[in-house]
Amino acid sequence: MTTLIDLAELGSVGGFFALRVSPAHDRGVRPLATVYGLPEPGDPTGSESGDPIGFRVGKVARRLGAPEDRIAVSVAQLGLAARLWSVALGSAALFGRVPDLDPALLGWDADGTSPDDLWLTGVHPLPGDAGTIRDVVQYGHLGPLSEALRARYRISAGLLWGNAGSALAGAARELHGWAARSGRADVGERALSLAAELFDHPDLRGTGTLRGTAFRRRSCCLYYRCPGGGLCGDCCFDRPPQRSSPGAASG
């Protein structure tokens, strides 16, 4: 394990672990600190910059053909949560350090593809323990993101935290698989150990059951309601609920 963070090696785990560095955010990339705040009235740089959350939700809704805004909200939040957990957990498992992902330093492109584009203005290593990862991701991003989304859309906190738990379990599972293929069993074991510690928190503890790399969540991300959509591998449902019960999966 090294005290340096090698972003190229981190990105080799997969697209959700990639992190790019830029000295400054351009017109299309906004610091997540501003994304979690209210839309900026009179922003001259265009709708995707003035209201990045609304722009992203609309883009996801169109891509999925989502019949409800909250489906697009859920899928968009799940994608960003997966990116944040992956970068932090992957860095901690590989290098024993986590980059400072302060929302003022981490930029996001609302018009980017999936996985979400993340840009960091400089890499400043922090300790790679579970407490630091929680501070960086859960408190620094997922909490403010949830508040921003719930202030604008009809979506439950339980569903959003369920997405966060699913994203964390998915990041640990991807790391463990990569480590096994790469002869780095130590990295895989660290990833699972850190994930288990992170799940031991009131916001995440009740989101599902984590056993090794297997996770079964207690809520649904609502993707099955999209045209052609199905159930995710960790969904609480064994089969899609009948559409006549629209509140069944609101989690």
Is there a contact between 134 and 203 (Cβ–Cβ < 8 Å)?
Answer: no
Query: What pLDDT tens digit does each residue of the chain (251 aa) get?
Result: 555 899 999 999 999 999 999 877 776 889 999 999 834 444 434 344 578 999 999 999 999 999 999 999 999 999 999 999 999 999 999 999 999 999 999 999 999 888 999 999 999 999 999 999 999 999 999 999 999 999 999 999 999 999 999 999 999 999 999 999 999 999 999 999 999 999 999 999 999 988 989 999 999 998 788 898 888 988 888 888 876 444 434 44
Question: In degrees rounded to 5, what are phi and psi of residue 20?
Answer: -105, 155
What integer pLDDT is reported at residue 27 of this predicted model? 67
Question: Per the structure, how many domains does the chain have?
Answer: 1
The CA-atom distances, in angstroms, between 89 and each of 3, 76, 127, 196 are 15, 20, 12, 12
Query: Which stretches of 16-132 are assigned E, i.e. beta strand?
Result: 20-21, 30-31, 97-99, 106-108, 118-120, 125-127
In a domain, 123, yes or no: yes
Q: Quickly tell me which residue has 């972003």 as its tokens.
A: 7
Q: Is residue 242 situated within a structural domain?
A: no
Report d(CA 124, CA 82) in Å as an integer: 21
Partners of 21 in the β-ladder: 120
Identify which of 98, 119, 116 has the alpha carbon closest to the alpha carbon of residue 16.
116
pLDDT at 10: 97
Q: Is residue 38 part of a domain?
A: yes
Does residue 206 sit within a domain?
yes
Residue 245 lies in a domain: no
Which of 126, 128, 134 lies closest to 197, judged by CA? 134
Dump the DSSP string for 50-76.
HSHHHHHHHHHHHHHT-SSHHHHHHHH
Pairing of strands 106-108, 118-120: antiparallel
Burial tier of 200 (Cβ tally within 10 Å: 0-12, 13-18, 19+): exposed
**pLDDT computed for residue 245 by the predictor:** 43
Give the model's pLDDT for residue 149: 96
Do the domain assignments include residue 230? no
**Predicted pLDDT at 241:** 82
In a domain, 147, yes or no: yes
pLDDT at 243: 63
- What pLDDT does residue 49 have? 52
Give the CA distances from residue 81 to residues 17, 43, 118, 248, in Å, rounded to whole numbers and listed in that order: 12, 26, 12, 23
Domain span at 181 = 7-225
Backbone angles phi, psi at 2, to 5 degrees: -110, 160
